[in-house]
Chain A
Amino acid sequence: MAVNTADAVQQRSRERRKSLLPLLKKVQETEGYLSRETIRHISRTLRVSENEIYGVASFYPQFRFQPPGRYHIQVCLGTACHVGGAPNFMEAMKIERGLGHGQTTPDRRFSLEGVGCLGCCAISPVVVVNGEVYGRMNRVTFMRLVESLESPEKPS
């Protein structure tokens, strides 16, 4: 009986731990990022230390610890897009808007992230804005896209 109880406890604890990554993902989807409060909360629910959660979450590039901008721009830096000139988009944002990887503009309009291959290489280079995929970009069309998002009449 004691063995069974121990097994059950162990099983529950590892299922809790297994749900850590899916939970972080869910929270980021709804809140946009992982705030300190969220992590504290998850730590209590799953009974995993905050340190440990930061350790795990910061390993995976998909997790953010800062709120994203209203337009979250993801530039694919996978090999097909890289060869197609995607690093130029990052550079353009840096030079022309002063925005680098992982940063958000002070007005919170844009945030920028370089990401791994999105599996759309056939239409590379690929840029994703708030989940919407834009294919076959070049530096010029990319900056036009950014400009179009700067005009205030564009609904979000």
Chain B
Amino acid sequence: MSAPRPEIRILVCESTACASSRSAEIRSALEAAVARLNLVDMVEVGFTGCHGFCQKGPIVVVEPEGIFYCQVKPGDATEIAEAHLAGGEPVKRLFYRHPVTKEAVPRYADIVFYKNQRRLILRNCGIVNPERIEDYEERGGYEGLRKAVTSMTAEQVVEEIKRSGLRGRGGAGFPTWFKWDLCRRQPGDEKYVICNANESAPGAFMDRSLLEADPHSVIEGLGLLGYAVGASRGFIYCRAEYSLAARWAQTALGQAYQKSYLGSRILGSGFSFDVEVFHGGGTFVSGEETALLSSLEGSRSMPRSRPPFPAVRGLWGKPTVVDNIKTLACVPPIIARGGNWFASIGAAKSPGTAVVSLTGKIVNSGVAEVPMGTPLSTLIYEIGGGIPNKKSLKAVQTGGPSGGFLPGGKIETPLDFDSLQEAGSIMGSSGIMVMDEDTCMVDAARTFLSFVQSESCGKCVACRVGTRHMVGLLDKVASGKAAEEDLGKLERLGHIVRNSSLCGLGQTAPIPALTALKYFRSEFIAHVVDKRCPAAVCRELVTFRIIPGRCTGCQMCVKVCPTKAISGPRSQPHNLDQGKCIKCRSCYEVCKFDAVAGEAIIIVS
């Protein structure tokens, strides 16, 4: 029907982060260059979704060689086209460089960030064009759905999921088959299935990556869920802010309808199923399944008490299954390849893989996927490349804003639902935040708790009032105004909030503060007793100083200081008036990045 596809493909990532660095311009520049060099028959210029390594974006990949270019600029397009596509000589300048050895790594597969990953949920991310259903089909897409609707009963689908041991990737790790089976056994034919792509836990961006890069795997998974429970309608609940993800998902839906993977009598079977994208509210609590249902019904997204569970009484009071987007992306290969295959991967009680987002003080931040049970140390030191600037690791937070802080000594904890819980943290949103010695644990606990506090929907007292008082106590500690007994109060309050909140938001909110108190008590004591912030972070307890020996008097800091606290003639060490200083960090930042001498301003406690 169409001409054969050119052998060489050059693929530009156009997901949100890369797009912010003008990747669309890179693609048009490449297209122009390819046309100018008469390479159109040999080279296809295309785009993909997220590779998970946004930090190094914009990313351009040349297939089939698997050459990986990073931090490409539109101006580099001509050189890539001339040297590499026409001349066969890749552009070394744009290769990824090993952060320590500085060695250039030309190929995708050899980059440490990718080398140690096992990509199952993200199997197609960065490989398929999210706007081409054919790309997905070529990689085995929709085979699971075809197999199910043409040769399996609903019970058999649930049975296969049970065999796989799949547990929900939304955070709690609930056995997926159990919810499906419960819903399937409910009477009535009005049932609903929902893909939870709310992802409003800060620091987590894998759901966005997945929906942007591979929307069809989610649609197929949702279709299989619909078939298994006997639902005829499904929703993809996507955060309002994720406009690109929603747009690509919408395009994908249209194609799936055209090819009869959705709609009435799917692939000639008796199963009919419709899916729509719903733009959600974008609050943290909207991700909680019952709150999500309220939001879909057009109300405030406030959680309801369970039971009844959504599988019994969900959307509009009808049986409903809400599954995380990553859970659903696991489903098609499980059906196509069998549950035993999936069960053989990962940890015994948590089969499969975990998708995590690595952020914070880490060399390689991004979205990575590893078998469940992989120790945190592998993620941080191998895939993540360790801590930058020769600093040392202080704490790791797993599970997003309400996850616990684990100290360096717990770094060998395997990443799976049960081991993390034993260590005092949670799997949660699988956001992993790495903190180095410059992080103040009081400040960190306060940051996370204030986030959760501001997201409390206000329905139950423990969460609404309790978290507020906890933030107040942490404020006191951070400003050096707390007494030692306040730490005990904080702990007691934390336990009350955890035990008496209605939903998971309140139940997990105190975890950061409680684990910080447990593992980093000496830092709290330093704030309370010595009125010092050892990491020099808490504003009320630090001062800014200019080191006269290092200051060359370049006046950069004088210019940026909003309160005119810094003075001094050019070429002479400047003077900082502590009385006027509001500790806004402007001088510190220009000095670090722009000043002639650099790093002549320090923060001390």
Contacts and interface: CB of A to CB of B under 8 A. Distances in A.
A80 B357 CA distance: 11
Given A56-B300, A83-B447, A133-B19, A140 B593 contact: yes
A51 interface: no
Contact of B203 (A22, A61, A79, A139): A79
Contacts of B585: 85, 88, 139
A22 B20 contact: no
A100 interface: no
B205 A92 contact: no
B299 interface: yes
B599 to A, nearest CB: 14
Contacts of B586: 88, 92, 139-140, 143
A17 interface: yes
Interface string B2-27: 00000000000000110111000000
A16 to B, nearest CB: 8
A115 B451 CA distance: 11
B560 interface: yes
B447 A79 contact: yes
Interface string B426-445: 00000001000001000010
B552 interface: no
A66 interface: no
Interface in A16-51: 17-22, 25, 48
Contact of B589 (A25, A48, A120, A138): A138
B562 A119 contact: no
Interface string A58-87: 011110000000000000001111110100
Contact of B439 (A83, A121, A124): A83
Given A118-B241, A139-B589, A96 B562 contact: yes
B199 interface: yes
Interface in B184-204: 199-204
B366 interface: yes
Contact of A59 (B300, B360, B590, B594): B300
Interface string A85-110: 10010011001100000000000000
A2 B312 CA distance: 27
Interface residues of A, number: 45
B359 A18 contact: no
A38 B478 CA distance: 45
Contact of B20 (A18, A85, A133): A133
A117 interface: yes
A135 B55 CA distance: 10
Nearest to B54: A122
A56 B560 contact: no
A122 B55 contact: yes
B281 interface: yes
Interface stretch (B216-224, B290-298, B340-348): B290-298
B21 A135 contact: yes
A66 B280 CA distance: 21
A121 B199 contact: no
Interface residues of B, number: 59
Contacts of B439: 83
Interface string B450-470: 010000010000000000000
B295 A21 contact: yes
A61 B240 CA distance: 11
A140 B585 CA distance: 9
A14 interface: yes
A121 B205 contact: yes
A99 B284 CA distance: 26
Contacts of A22: 278-279
A82 B594 CA distance: 22
A8 interface: no
B213 to A, nearest CB: 13
A60 B359 contact: no
A119 B20 CA distance: 12
A117 B301 contact: no
Nearest to B397: A79
B116 interface: no
A56 B241 contact: no
Contacts of B199: 119
Contact of A140 (B297, B357, B594): B594
A120 B16 contact: yes
Contact of B447 (A82, A118, A123): A82
B359 A124 contact: yes
A123 B17 contact: yes
B543 interface: no
A135 B590 contact: no
A85 B603 CA distance: 14
Interface in B238-283: 240-242, 278-283
B298 A21 contact: yes
A122 B585 CA distance: 22
Given A60-B281, A78-B203, A14 B17 contact: no
Contact of A122 (B296, B359, B560): B359
B433 A80 contact: yes
Given A95-B562, A116-B282, A117-B204, A139 B447 contact: no
B597 interface: no
Contacts of B582: 95
Contacts of A122: 17, 53-55, 57, 205, 357, 359, 365-366
Contacts of B560: 139-140, 143
Contacts of B593: 138, 140
Given A59-B301, A78-B203, A123 B55 contact: yes
Given A14-B316, A62-B282, A95-B582, A121 B298 contact: no
A132 B21 CA distance: 10
A132 B53 CA distance: 20
Contacts of A80: 202-203, 359-360, 433
Given A18-B297, A140-B590, A115 B21 contact: no
B298 A55 contact: no
A88 B583 CA distance: 10
Contacts of A79: 202-203, 401, 433, 447-448, 451
A60 B283 contact: yes
A121 B282 contact: no
A63 to B, nearest CB: 9
Given A56-B298, A80-B203, A143-B560, 5 more contacts: A83-B447, A88-B584, A95-B584, A121-B359, A139-B560
30 contacts: A18-B298, A21-B279, A21-B298, A25-B240, A25-B279, A56-B298, A60-B282, A60-B301, A62-B240, A62-B241, A78-B202, A79-B451, A80-B359, A81-B202, A83-B433, A83-B447, A85-B585, A117-B204, A119-B16, A119-B241, A120-B17, A120-B205, A121-B365, A122-B17, A122-B57, A122-B205, A122-B357, A138-B589, A140-B589, A143-B560
Which 5 A-B pairs have CB atoms at the shortest separation, nearest pair first?
A78-B202, A133-B20, A117-B202, A119-B205, A122-B54
